[in-house]
Amino acid sequence: MSLRPYLALGAVAAALAGCATTQPLPPTEVIRYHLDRPIARGTIAVQPLDASNASIEFKTYAAAVEGELLKAGYSLPAQGARPDYVATVNFTRTTQEGPPRPSPFSIGIGGGSFSGGRRGGVGLGGGIGFPIGKSRPTNLLVAELAVTIKDARDQSPVWEGRAQGISDIKRADEQAPRLAHALFTGFPGESGRTIEVR
């Protein structure tokens, strides 16, 4: 049984135009679902949604989620002990072409100056720059992190959430902690409401 009939985040196309390496990243879009009642804390284990996933990428996202859960008041179970809760983690990462970057090369044409006349001089000056070569597209990383917290006794979900964000591909290493932090901001959050977290 799921806490949500349908979970979808809004389009991020409008944010793509403002995403560049030297600019602040667009906000992360977050939505959470729960039963609108206090969520008890206890021990929790982080697991992949796909049990066969043991990739380095998963470990990066799992570590970010685990860190946020510890901040939210959960603790890790003792070795060999059954946890009170299980947090399943799933993520997707895709790349797409964003707005073009300006050409890194340009030339400038500077103006000159002259003076004349008996009573003084007149100065003229200026400069015009021209880009050389074609502009290059920005490579963007679109990532989504989904987490479900279940009661370990009967596997019933008590909380679900998703966070979606975009960044320049050169800042890919920032994406996992950024999404996890946004997802657990104000945990458990307002159920069913989409928010933006910067």
- CA distances (Å), origin 124, targets 66, 109, 115, 120, 198: 64, 14, 9, 14, 47
Predicted confidence at residue 138, as pLDDT, reads 72
Predicted confidence at residue 183, as pLDDT, reads 98
- Which two tokens mark 68? 């946020």
Predicted confidence at residue 130, as pLDDT, reads 45
Predicted confidence at residue 55, as pLDDT, reads 86
> What are the phi and psi torsion angles at 110 (to 5°)?
-90, 150
Residue that the structure tokens 């920032």 belong to: 174
- CA distances (Å), origin 30, targets 8, 161, 172, 182, 196: 10, 7, 19, 7, 6
Predicted confidence at residue 5, as pLDDT, reads 44
Q: Which CATH number, 3.40.1160.10, 3.30.70.870, 3.30.160.670, 3.90.190.10, labels domain 30-103+127-197?
A: 3.30.160.670
- pLDDT lower than 50: segments of the chain: 5-21, 103, 105-130, 133
- Which two tokens mark 185? 């901001």
- Which two tokens mark 183? 């997802």
- Could you state, in order of their start, the residue ranges of all structural domains in the chain? 30-103+127-197
pTM for this one?
A: 0.72
